[in-house]
Structure 1
Amino acid sequence: MKVIQYNLQVRDTGKMNPEDIARDARGLGADAVVLNTGGIYAWYESRVPFHHINEFLPEGRDLLKKLIEACHKEGVYVIGRFDFSKAEDEVYLQHPEWFVKDPDGKPVIYGKERMGNWSLLVSTCINGGYRWEEFAGKVLEEAIGMLELDGVFFNAPHMEDCWCENCRRKYRNLYGVDLPGEKQEWNSGWKTRCLQDNMEFLYRRIKAADPALPVIMYYSTYQEQGMHQAENLEDKYKTADLICTEAQDILSAGKESLPYRWKPILNMKLGRLPGKNLRPFGIIHSCPGMDWRHTGLPAAEYEYWMSQIPAAGGQLWHSLTGFDRTITDHRMLETVRQVNEKTAVSNRYLEDAAPVVDAWILWSGSKKELAMAKAFLECHISFEFLNLLLLEQNLNPEQYPLLMVADGSRLKTKQLQYLREYVARGGRLFVEKTDSETDTVLEELMGIVPETMCTGSLQAAYGELPETSGLRSRLEQTRYLPVRGQYLNVRPVEGTQKLITLIPPFAPPDGVGAPPERASMPVGHTEIPLAMMHPYGKGNVLSVCFELAELVTEIGLEDQKILLENLFAALAGENLKVRAWNLPDGVHLSVWEKQGRWMLQIVNGIGERPLRTANACGNLEIALRKETEGPVRGGSVLEHYPVRVISEKEWIRIQIDRLDVWDLIVVEEERDGLVEEKAFSNDTK
């Protein structure tokens, strides 16, 4: 599905022509639109007390109802947008118990310095009556009864920090203590619990009014500094039928603060549940920051950013300020139309397809887990996330062939026991660990002597690959690999293979540059392992005892990336399904599979951001593990450049002449009726 959210401004109400807006939405390729409906402003003739009706609505003409009718005539669904996060100051004066209070008991006010004849907006409390039966429940019941909506979307539903009496009472009832004055001391599940309770109420009210009406709810993804705990999507789907998240490309923050270049892709991965074909919505704002929301992102940046959502299996949701007649930067509309055209083609191929996964990262939201995910993206390793809350007994190695445990992961003893059973049955476990906190189960899995560990920090140090390590591919002509940061010194048990050994620092940090006469290595070789392979049961455990993921993401030397790729390939063995044989940095690959057909989604983000032009690249090569003995064929269905498919003994090699921004390469068994021949150029061997 392709969605366009029109963020309507009340003073533009008189310019709104329902037929034009509906026709323009269909012309841009929208399957659905999101329209302001209720909450801060009522965009219809509401009779609910304290529901502020848009004062610019034309008298005697139900504009929103006409808009919905016009959209339906164009075959466009309408999702009602409700925002109960704020209300006017006049409402606060009559019901102060509905609103957020700071630690001093004062309301939280937005837009105090906004020029013009505007009322103040005051934040509502998630535990107050406004967001429950006294207001929100009545508004939803009324709107669903009056309007032919096709869905409900809640904007800004989350809890704002609050110390009102409602919150104090609820906290005391839940946890048996008073609500702390410092939010850092709050129970880690407090805000999540409040959101769940409120959403459960609103969800029930909607389903009571119309059981078939889908509810769309935000899900949280990641924070660069790490999170206390990742969100449990199974719980999220108890109060939502569909989920969404935003990936704002905030260029106005400056080049030093640009969001991660593959943020939309990460967001989509974090919105998937293993084994379930549930596609999250990815919301992309058209502007370079809300402070410049009346202008558009540079076209090249916007196209690459948007393309990541459908390429990662998400549903694309555009967020525009205004509608076609009031939008002041029409260049963005052409970019939206172009990407929607490609998305429509991509969606047809990806319907009911599943991602091809070489590894699952155990996820709790930590900074180190995020570093591992980014390192995998930089190295073109195919992965998905498995929330630690969903880690369970009897993990199937066929469904989860390789699991990744990031540095610093706080696994409980029971979870470690699950992993031990998993490896014993043939699973493969990749562990990165630099701290000395451990468990006897983890020591057993890693193949190390108990209580022999100590930690340290490395500068001006190296790793050495023994000739027998099997990791020297593309590193044959170098002896030392640069390492630094925290490391864990361990002693392996018999049968544990050392893959990398430590070369200690040749100088302290203040002596690395001068004098060169003293730059000789004090020790040319040690038996201190930096990486090890330990067979356990029918499986294997690969342990990395230094901060490799952070080296790849923060330094990113070619040798460091090659090392991670080689380590991963050594552990995966014949289970490795995808290899990026020639993909440059700045290009992302994801692979999907359905009934003998592979879909390779490739997005190009090469260049200094924000991108001013698309920087085409060529001579790309990708390999897929061969699963059929018959002939295969393939080609491009989006950009239509020549593609060669070469079938070898173990691999299918796909060679792509050129990539502009986003292409979908389809590879399949050569049978009639699978691929529209006119859709691509191909050269199959």
Structure 2
Amino acid sequence: MAHWWQDTPWRMVQTNLPERAMAEMDAERFARSLESFGATVVNLNAAGIIASYPTKLDFQPRSRYITGNSLLEMVDACHRHGIRVIARTDFSRIRRDVYEQHPGWAARLGDGSIVDYHGYVSVCPNSDYQNEAMFQVLEELFTTHPFDGLYCNMSSFFITDYDGKVHGVCQCERCRTLYQQATGRSLAPGLSLRDPAMGPYIAFLARCGAQHKAKLTSFLKKLNPELALDGVDFARSEVSLDYDCPNWVYKASSNARIAAGPGRTRPSDTASVGFLGFPHRYIAPPPGLMALRQWQSLANSGCVSLYLMGTLDAARDTAGLKATREVFRFHQQHAGILTGLHSLARTVILHSGSWKRMSAEEMGWVRILTESHIPFDELPLSELKDTSLLNGKTLVILPDAPRLSESQAGALDAFVLAGGTLLITGATAQGPGSAPLTCLGGAKVTETRQGLRSSMWEIPPEQADDFPSCRSTPWLDPGPELWKVQPGPDTQTWLHLVPESPLGPPEECWVGDVREEIPGLLRTFCGSGQSLWLPWKGAALCETLGTENPLRFLQDVLFELCGAVSVAPDLSPMVEVVLAAGQGRTVVQLINAGGCCGAAWRDPVPVHDISLKLPDMVFSSVHTLRGGQVVCRTTGKELLLTLDLLQDYEAIVFEQST
């Protein structure tokens, strides 16, 4: 029997309620507003910093405003209207008066001080608060209220505040002791994000986090196996717009892909934040941006999610809500078609860091594949234990992952031996303690060059035919850093390095005759497959500078050497194409990001006469969900499709023959 979150169409609304909103809460009106909006799940304030119910625990402050309908009445009202309720808790901070009674719960900086933000003190995740008191709160909450799941907000060893300032990592006595026991090292008092010792510390944090998650999962499932837990049964992330947070156009798509996975086996709660960051919690982002995020999340995971301050019926800035409601209602109308799908992509990007904070190199590859219309999936490298996650894939891209575990390297080697193509960039598998990749054929880094300003890769004339898009651009910008690689005995290489040249007035600038035999691309055949290595970070340049150099070269690598195939070679790069199938149908979804204009977001520019080249398939009928007109023609190997018009989003549904 399926759990509720496995067969409930996921349309989440997270209502972060100010404490005083409970004073005049009308539970029935609250539930009706969610139902009218199309929500099937709500994320509702419950416990932690402040209890939204009459708690009996003396260390958990009770809200002063519980004078309207109770939290229990709100949960019951939502259930009557068919809406599941996730309990939102926040154990990242405690009020100052609680800290004074329990000073050992606080996170500590290197000098022993605490971070107190206007009376709210940051807590250490290794403290008794999060490992003992937290579980008392959860037991009280879930045995008195029929919630359907749990979301824990903002817990982190990195001590931050609501201004976005990172004060440092927790240096409390318990963290120091545990770190010493785990690593045999002392925790450096001034450890910062740029410190070389951060690597072992991050690994320590991962172990602590995994242990806590396992304890929480076991505890929750013993209370009730039908309680859905964030990070286990569903995966929540945020897509936001803030002063110091670059608004990456593909953030919602990427988050949704990673959270749901290629099989879309868990709900992706990619929460589109309906306000302009912490300072302006009641000012909505542009409607075009709000709609784009929802269409991206829907296409890549089959789920939609909104996060706002207050209740839906009390919102005054409703421009973003109107755009979001349209997508929610579309999902509600077509949930039977758009849920229960799995990805048809043959390419996957593996992310070595936190997928919620990607590097420019990782973001660059997402952009390149999206704008080249190569369908792809994304997975955290940490989830790669064997080749099972790579089933059905022909190309794996691993951007600049210096350290691989034995199991990760073994899985990638096995993938290549079995006929797959592995494309790595930067210093992948070259960091201290990394397991080696046998499929590189013995190629290894012998030198790191940094601070480059005028170096260039040259495509020599004899290699020009391998990169047909670059015939008029033989020079490539390597960026500020590259790695000199000594090829293996059977490794094929491309490109030469033009070393640093003089900078100054134009009379002093020229391209000299010196060429270094340092390859910019290496290929090794291994078993039935191949590995390719770009020992520089060209995708990062595509992301940060937006230039076609080296974009065209990297596209040639994908198409000419990796065997990747574009499903829309002539389509505007501003249109994203997603292929999925399930329940006897294939669904092609198109999202128009043409409203992105620098830092501004407008309604997208309509795209006319779109041509797609799809793998040939057998189908009995084809129709669209947004009114577009399609014409199909088969060639025996391909299905050629033409769509007359794309506004913001379209779904083309091929029903299979029965």
TM-score bracket, normalised by the shorter chain, equals 0.7 to 0.9
Conservation of the 8 A alpha-carbon contact between 1:268 and 1:312: yes
Q: How far did residue 605 of structure 1 move? A: 1.9
The partner residue of 1:243 within 223, 235, 242 is 235
The partner residue of 2:190 within 182, 192, 198 is 182
Deviation string for 1:301-327 (max 9, x for gaps)? 211123221221153221111113432
Conservation of the 8 A alpha-carbon contact between 1:397 and 1:425: no
Specify the alignment match of 2:631 in structure 1.
Answer: 644
What aligned pairs does 1:6-155 form with structure 2 within 5 A after superposition? 6-58=15-67, 63-111=70-118, 120-133=119-132, 135-155=133-153
The partner residue of 2:365 within 350, 363, 372 is 372
Mapped to 2, the partners of 1:275 and 1:36 lie a distance apart of: 31
Conservation of the 8 A alpha-carbon contact between 2:455 and 2:497: no
Q: How far did residue 329 of structure 1 move? A: 0.8
Deviation string for 1:481-538 (max 9, x for gaps)? 543435566686787656x544847964436x458xx96x765999875435443332
Q: How far did residue 78 of structure 1 move? A: 1.6
Conservation of the 8 A alpha-carbon contact between 1:22 and 1:71: yes
What aligned pairs does 1:502-521 form with structure 2 within 5 A after superposition? 502=496, 504=498, 508-510=502-504, 513-514=506-507
SS at 1:510 equivalent: coil
SS at 2:219 equivalent: helix
Conservation of the 8 A alpha-carbon contact between 1:420 and 1:441: no
Deviation string for 1:13-68 (max 9, x for gaps)? 2332111111111010100112211112222222222322211112xx75212212
Deviation string for 1:117-167 (max 9, x for gaps)? xxx22223323333233x322222222122121222212233344333443
Q: How far did residue 286 of structure 1 move? A: 0.2
Conservation of the 8 A alpha-carbon contact between 2:39 and 2:328: yes
Change (3 A) 1:631 1:284: closer
Mapped to 1, the partners of 2:254 and 2:52 lie a distance apart of: 35
Q: How far did residue 473 of structure 1 move? A: 5.0
Specify the alignment match of 1:662 in structure 2.
Answer: 649
- Matching of residue 192 in structure 1 with residue 206 in structure 2: yes
Deviation string for 1:598-630 (max 9, x for gaps)? 22222222231331333322333222222x3x4
Deviation string for 1:549-583 (max 9, x for gaps)? 2343234344643332232122343xx46522123
Mapped to 2, the partners of 1:15 and 1:501 lie a distance apart of: 69
What amino acid is the match of 2:70?
A: L
Change (3 A) 1:448 1:641: same
What amino acid is the match of 1:202?
A: L
Change (3 A) 1:432 1:214: closer
Change (3 A) 1:55 1:355: same
Specify the alignment match of 1:230 in structure 2.
Answer: none
Q: How far did residue 294 of structure 1 move? A: 0.9
Deviation string for 1:364-411 (max 9, x for gaps)? 127344443343334333222344444456679753322223346334
Mapped to 2, the partners of 1:493 and 1:45 lie a distance apart of: 68
Mapped to 1, the partners of 2:123 and 2:426 lie a distance apart of: 44
Specify the alignment match of 1:483 in structure 2.
Answer: 477
Unmatched tracts of structure 2, length 5 or more: 1-9, 160-168
SS at 2:305 equivalent: strand
Mapped to 2, the partners of 1:425 and 1:531 lie a distance apart of: 22
Deviation string for 1:254-290 (max 9, x for gaps)? xxx5321111222223324565622321111101222
Conservation of the 8 A alpha-carbon contact between 2:374 and 2:565: no
SS at 2:312 equivalent: coil
Change (3 A) 1:370 1:17: same
The partner residue of 1:267 within 247, 255, 265 is 255
- Matching of residue 214 in structure 1 with residue 238 in structure 2: no
Conservation of the 8 A alpha-carbon contact between 1:206 and 1:213: yes
Mapped to 2, the partners of 1:492 and 1:645 lie a distance apart of: 47
Q: How far did residue 653 of structure 1 move? A: 2.3
What amino acid is the match of 1:430?
A: L
Specify the alignment match of 1:622 in structure 2.
Answer: 612
Change (3 A) 1:86 1:551: closer
Aligned residues: 623
Conservation of the 8 A alpha-carbon contact between 2:236 and 2:271: yes
Moved more, 124-133 or 32-41: 124-133
Mapped to 2, the partners of 1:188 and 1:479 lie a distance apart of: 41
TM-score by length of 1: 0.80
Conservation of the 8 A alpha-carbon contact between 1:88 and 1:122: yes
Mapped to 1, the partners of 2:148 and 2:293 lie a distance apart of: 28
Moved more, 4-13 or 534-543: 534-543
Mapped to 1, the partners of 2:588 and 2:202 lie a distance apart of: 40
Mapped to 2, the partners of 1:580 and 1:152 lie a distance apart of: 41
- Matching of residue 287 in structure 1 with residue 282 in structure 2: no
The partner residue of 2:425 within 429, 432, 440 is 432
The partner residue of 1:156 within 148, 154, 157 is 154
SS at 2:316 equivalent: coil
The partner residue of 1:203 within 217, 221, 225 is 217
SS at 1:658 equivalent: strand
Change (3 A) 1:592 1:206: same
Conservation of the 8 A alpha-carbon contact between 2:402 and 2:427: no
Q: How far did residue 295 of structure 1 move? A: 1.4
Conservation of the 8 A alpha-carbon contact between 1:12 and 1:326: no
What amino acid is the match of 2:613?
A: A
What amino acid is the match of 2:122?
A: S
Specify the alignment match of 2:246 in structure 1.
Answer: 258
Change (3 A) 1:592 1:524: farther
Mapped to 2, the partners of 1:206 and 1:382 lie a distance apart of: 37
Unmatched tracts of structure 1, length 5 or more: 112-119, 218-239, 673-685
What aligned pairs does 1:195-594 form with structure 2 within 5 A after superposition? 195-217=209-231, 240-250=232-242, 252-253=243-244, 258-273=246-261, 277-313=265-301, 315-345=303-333, 347-365=335-353, 367=359, 368-392=361-385, 399-407=392-400, 409-411=402-404, 416=409, 418-433=411-426, 445-446=439-440, 459=454, 461=456, 463-464=458-459, 471=466, 478=472, 480-485=474-479, 486=481, 500-502=494-496, 504=498, 508-510=502-504, 513-514=506-507, 530-558=520-548, 560-573=550-563, 576=564, 578-594=566-582
Conservation of the 8 A alpha-carbon contact between 1:127 and 1:166: yes
SS at 2:113 equivalent: coil
Mapped to 2, the partners of 1:580 and 1:502 lie a distance apart of: 32
Mapped to 2, the partners of 1:582 and 1:620 lie a distance apart of: 8
Change (3 A) 1:453 1:346: farther
Mapped to 1, the partners of 2:417 and 2:562 lie a distance apart of: 15
Instruction: Give % identity.
Output: 24
Larger radius of gyration: 1
What amino acid is the match of 1:192?
A: A
Deviation string for 1:445-479 (max 9, x for gaps)? 45688899896957374643767765455566x36
Conservation of the 8 A alpha-carbon contact between 1:532 and 1:543: yes
Specify the alignment match of 1:167 in structure 2.
Answer: 175
Mapped to 2, the partners of 1:411 and 1:377 lie a distance apart of: 26
Mapped to 2, the partners of 1:99 and 1:540 lie a distance apart of: 51
Q: How far did residue 292 of structure 1 move? A: 0.9
